[in-house]
Structure 1
C-alpha cells in the first residue's frame, strides 16, 4: 500500500480546488493527516514487533488464538476476526506453523477441516512481547488525558461510520 509521506500544502490544494468542484481544503488536510497518523502508528508497531522477531499480522493471529478459551480457532474464523482474506490468513498461519508458534489440529469428523492451536512456543512468544507492549501503549496514550482520549475515540468512530462514502 502506498503511504503518502509528502502531504499537500495550501498551494497544491488550491491547484486542485481550481480544477475540481467541492474541494474543501481544510477537510482534505485533516483527512490526509488522520490517514498519515494511522499509518505512522502502524509502522511504529511494526518496528516494535520486529525487535521480537514478529510481523504485525502474525502477532495478531497469536493474540486472537490466546483470546480463545481452548487457544484454538479455525483459519476462516481467524480471517474474519482479523479482517483479512482466507488466502492472507493461510500465509500467516503457514509462517507460524513453520516457526512452531501454532499447530494444526485435524478434525476427527471431517478430514477436510482443521483448527489452529497456539503452541507453548507461541505462548512463550506472547509472554515475551506483551510485557514490553503494554507499558509502551500506556506511555504513548498518556500524551492525551483520559477524558480527551474518550472524546477522540468518539470522534474517530464517527469518521469510521462516514467512511462508507468510499464504498
Structure 2
C-alpha cells in the first residue's frame, strides 16, 4: 500500500483549490491526516503482531474464531466478517492450518461442507498476542480521554456513512433532484 508520508501544506492545498474549485481544503486536510494516521496504525499493528509470528489477516481470523461460541465457523462466514473474498480466506486458512492454529472439520455426510475450528495452539497464540496488543493499544490511546473517544466514535460513524461517495458510479451530484 502506498502511503503519503509528506502531507500537503496549507499553501499546497490552496494551490490545488485554485485549480479545482470543488476542493474543500479543510476536508482534504482532515481526510489526508486521517489516512496518514490510519496507515501508521496499521503498520504499527503489523509490527506488534509480527513479534508473535502473525500479520493482521491471520490474526483477525483467529479473533473471529475466538468470538464464536465453540470457536467454530464456516469459511464463507469468516470471509464475509473479515471483508475478504472466499479465495483470500482460503489462503489465510491454509496458512493457519499449516501452522496448526486452526483445523478444518469436514461434515460426515457431505465432505464438501467444512467448518473451521480454532485449535488449542491457536488459542495459545492468541493468549500470547492479546496481552501485548492490549497493553500497546492502551498506551497508544492514553492521550485520548473517554469523552474524546466518544466524540471520535461519532466522527468515525459520520465518515463511515460518507464512504459510499467514493464507491458510487457516475459523477457526484448526478441524479439529485434540484
Q: TM-score, normalised by structure 1?
A: 0.95
* C-alpha RMSD of matched pairs (Å): 1.2
Report 1:55-70 matches (<5 A).
Answer: 55-70=55-70
Report 1:1-167 matches (<5 A).
Answer: 1-167=1-167
Q: 1: distance between equivalents of 2:16 and 2:48?
A: 38
3-state SS in 2 of match to 1:104 = strand
CA deviation digits over 1:38-66, x for unaligned, max 9? Answer: 11111111000001111111011011111
3-state SS in 2 of match to 1:23 = coil
3-state SS in 2 of match to 1:157 = helix
Shift of 1:102: 0.5
Q: 2: distance between equivalents of 1:156 and 1:106?
A: 40
3-state SS in 2 of match to 1:69 = coil
Q: 2: distance between equivalents of 1:36 and 1:108?
A: 49
Structure 2 unaligned runs (5+)? 168-178
Q: 1: distance between equivalents of 2:36 and 2:91?
A: 27
Q: 2: distance between equivalents of 1:8 and 1:140?
A: 25
3-state SS in 1 of match to 2:52 = coil
Structure 1 unaligned runs (5+)? none
3-state SS in 2 of match to 1:52 = coil
3-state SS in 2 of match to 1:16 = helix
Shift of 1:16: 2.0
Q: TM-score, normalised by structure 2?
A: 0.89
CA deviation digits over 1:110-167, x for unaligned, max 9? Answer: 2111011111110110111112111222222221111111111111111111121112
